[in-house]
Structure 1
Amino acid sequence: MAEERLSFKEMCARFDVTPRTLRYYEYIELLAPLKEGRNRFYGPREVARMTLILRGRRFGFSLEEIRQWLMLYSARGTHEQYQVWIELADRRLAGLERQRSELDVTIADLRALRDRTAESLKP
């Protein structure tokens, strides 16, 4: 079975990213497509990495955190990569929990102020 290869345009379409984003990810060495002349082709490795990059961004990780985490696989293997992933995820989860608590307080404060203001308008 032939290895799937996506063109630059197909990669942008598959992941719904702009050409600028894809070029930037290459520039900061998150992706390393095969280059044939002026064309770039993305194989399964790059597709998997892009999936992880976008998932990491959705979870709020910085591109540098993602880059370092992806580099671990090459340098130390899956086990070490998973260990670091758990540490990163724990830190991010703690931050999200703090944000949720802060949002709950802000929502309650705003709701109370709105209710008091609405009450003051009643005859």
Structure 2
Amino acid sequence: MADKDKLFSVSELAQEFALTTQALRFYEEKGLLLPARSGRARVYTYRDRARLLLIQRLRRLGFSLEDIAQYLSMYGAVGGGQYQLGLEKIQRRLGELRSLRREIDQTIDELQSLEDEARQRLQAAASPGTPPRQE
């Protein structure tokens, strides 16, 4: 049997991706994974595994489940629709992260200023008779 023909159980896939079986069921409920059945057991194909890998990657990058579902629903679309949609979502996410980085940089600068001021005041308090510097 080729690797692409291998079937994975819920527990195998959950363990491989460090997820709970409930997380896999949640992805199924959201329509992100569509496992086959072998008797009463759910089994996952190589394609399901690849989808889960992509889902996890996109989640880690901050994409919503709705964004991921929309992207996955376009799989195999004619004319590159999936890639165009993906590009738009990537550009939006990059914009969000760049904005967040600016906010974080401003916060770091403000905290650094407060830290410098606190150090100066501590130094002045440790040296009686020396007035604290005013900035």
TM over 0.5: yes
The structural deviation recorded for 1:93 is: 0.4
Distance in 1 between residues matched to 2:46 and 2:115, nearest whole Å? 53
The residue type paired with residue 120 of structure 2 is: E
Give runs of aligned pairs for residues 1-123 of structure 1, distance below 5 A.
1-2=1-2, 3-74=5-76, 76-77=77-78, 79-122=80-123, 123=127
Specify every segment of 5 or more residues in structure 2 that has no aligned partner in the other structure, as ranges.
128-135
* Distance in 1 separating the partners of 2:9 and 2:71: 26
Q: What are the Cα deviations for residues 48-84 of structure 1, in whole angstroms up to 9, with x where unaligned?
A: 110111111011110011001100115x247110111
Q: Cα distance, 1:18 vs. partner? A: 1.3
Instruction: State the TM-score, normalizing by the size of structure 2.
Output: 0.85
Task: From the superposition, tell whether residues 85 and 33 of structure 1 become closer, same or farther in structure 2 (CA, over 3 Å).
Answer: same
Q: Indicate the SS of the match to 2:83.
A: helix
Identity, % of aligned pairs?
Answer: 42
Runs of at least 4 residues off by over 2 Å: none
Q: Distance in 2 between matches of 1:62 and 1:56?
A: 8
> SS in structure 2 opposite 1:61?
coil
How many equivalent pairs are there? Answer: 122
Shift of 1:38: 2.6
Greater share of helix? 1
The TM-score with structure 1 as length reference comes to 0.93
